[in-house]
Copies of this chain bind each other. A is one copy, B any other.
Amino acid sequence: MRYELYYWPGIQGRGEFVRLALEDAGADYVDVARRKGGMEKMMRLMQGRGVDIPSYAPPFLKAGRLVIGQTANILLYLGAHEYLAPKAEAGRLQVHMLQLTIADFVQETHDTHHPIASGLYYEDQKSEAKRYTAEFRKVRMPKYLGYFERILEKNGNWLVGSRASTADLSLFQMVDGLRYAFPNTMKRLERTHNRVAALHDRVAARPRIRAYLESDRRIPFNESGIFRHYPELDS
């Protein structure tokens, strides 16, 4: 089956967590909105035309007749169908729990540059962003990274079980993005979170992921996505 991924073109954003899973699985997929006429197609699906229940927002994945919205939900589906998740219920619930914790971390990262409203420009909420990000760097980043560090300390190479799951791919993306957005803070934090850093490199070295990262399918980080490098927000 050829999957259709629908996401804003031009940014990695939340769609990137889905792209990484599709790429690592070697799945056949089209990144619809990056093709000619794709944005119009995405808009029609968002308005619910021909869809039972449209997704609240991109990303969403079309898998045959299914239209699956919400990043973590898409990854739950891909985990089950592309063998990127444990087969037993206990393991699947653990992977999804971590996936949802990463989703919270993503949201908080987004809010570093948009603490007041996503509908306003960064420039219009810069002072609030500085205050938010100071707390984010001091309290939230160490708390989330420490959580994943302790899990890896207990479990070894991967977060759940003995094989990579969608949660590992997503944690790679978190580290990659945070390195881009907050290089100074990350340099400091990675010293005491070396297992999380090693997981990043382990994922990056997977043959299909490496090929993807070197391809032009990987959109470079930029200041329209979730991970933005504003030097005034870093330490």
Contacts and interface: CB of A to CB of B under 8 A. Distances in A.
Interface in A55-82: 55-56, 65-66, 68-70, 72-73, 76-77
Number of copies: 2
Interface string A117-138: 1011000000010011001100
Interface stretch (A22-30, A90-98, A194-202, A215-223): A90-98
Dominant SS at the A interface?
A: helix
Nearest to A136: B117
Interface in A141-175: 144, 147, 150-151, 154-155, 159-160
A160 B54 CA distance: 12
Interface residues of A, number: 47
B116 A131 contact: yes
A95 to B, nearest CB: 9
